[in-house]
């Protein structure tokens, strides 16, 4: 409750909402501008697939960027480092699937080299991330 200066009534019964609305609108604008900046990652042009499934799991993700670099755990690594880090993840106990995100322009041989490194580290469940074709529903067999 607020007091009105010079009033004989004492307390004022209504709340001034204008400052609170102003603050909320400013915060809304700040979050709308900042939200796209919070999504970080490497831009990869994924191949399209009609039969792909969306995997909502705690899978490990290995990304092959267009220039041939490997990204794992939010950092770029060499193939030897990838094997070492994956072996460490495999020794932690539970086996998680590994998803490979490879740019459409990456040579097939490079992708197989990375998949071999993943399998040598002890992972048997290896999947490939694809992009759905716009306008077509995903089908699974």
* Number of independent structural domains in the chain: 2
List, for residues 30-56, the tens digit of each pLDDT value.
988 888 777 666 677 767 777 666 555
Residue 79, domain extent: 48-132
pLDDT confidence of residue 64:
92
Sign of CA dihedral 66, 127, 108, 137: negative
Q: Are 67 and 116 found together in one domain? A: yes
List, for residues 86-107, the tens digit of each pLDDT value.
888 888 777 788 899 998 888 9
- pLDDT band for 12, please (50, 70, 90 cuts): low
Is 54 a member of any domain? yes
Q: Are 8 and 52 found together in one domain? A: no
Q: Are 82 and 104 found together in one domain? A: yes
Is 7 a member of any domain? yes
Beta bridge partners of 128: 100
Name the helix (H) or strand (E) containing 19: helix 18-38
pLDDT confidence of residue 73:
82
Name the helix (H) or strand (E) containing 49: strand 48-49
- pLDDT band for 24, please (50, 70, 90 cuts): very high
CA-based R_g, the chain, Å? 26
Q: Are 72 and 124 found together in one domain? A: yes
pLDDT confidence of residue 9:
62
Q: Are 34 and 53 found together in one domain? A: no
Q: Are 52 and 26 found together in one domain? A: no
Q: Are 27 and 79 found together in one domain? A: no
Nearest partner of 118 among 98, 140, 88, judged by Cα: 98
Q: Are 24 and 57 found together in one domain? A: no
Q: Are 25 and 85 found together in one domain? A: no
- pLDDT band for 27, please (50, 70, 90 cuts): very high
Beta bridge partners of 49: 132
Is 19 a member of any domain? yes
Q: Are 62 and 31 found together in one domain? A: no
Q: Are 15 and 70 found together in one domain? A: no
Is 11 a member of any domain? yes
């Amino acid at each position: 409750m607020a007091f009105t200066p010079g009033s004989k009534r004492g307390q004022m019964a209504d709340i001034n909402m204008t400052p609170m609305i102003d603050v909320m609108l400013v915060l809304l604008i700040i979050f709308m501008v900042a939200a796209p900046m919070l999504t970080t990652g490497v831009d990869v042009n994924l191949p399209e697939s009609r039969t792909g499934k969306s995997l909502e799991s705690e899978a490990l993700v290995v990304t092959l960027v267009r220039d041939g670099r490997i990204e794992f755990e939010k950092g770029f690594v060499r193939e030897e480092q990838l094997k070492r880090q994956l072996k460490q993840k495999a020794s932690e106990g539970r086996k998680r699937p590994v998803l490979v995100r490879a740019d459409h322009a990456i040579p097939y041989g490079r992708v197989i080299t990375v998949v071999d490194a993943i399998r040598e580290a002890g992972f048997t469940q290896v999947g490939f991330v694809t992009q759905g074709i716009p306008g077509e529903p995903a089908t699974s067999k």
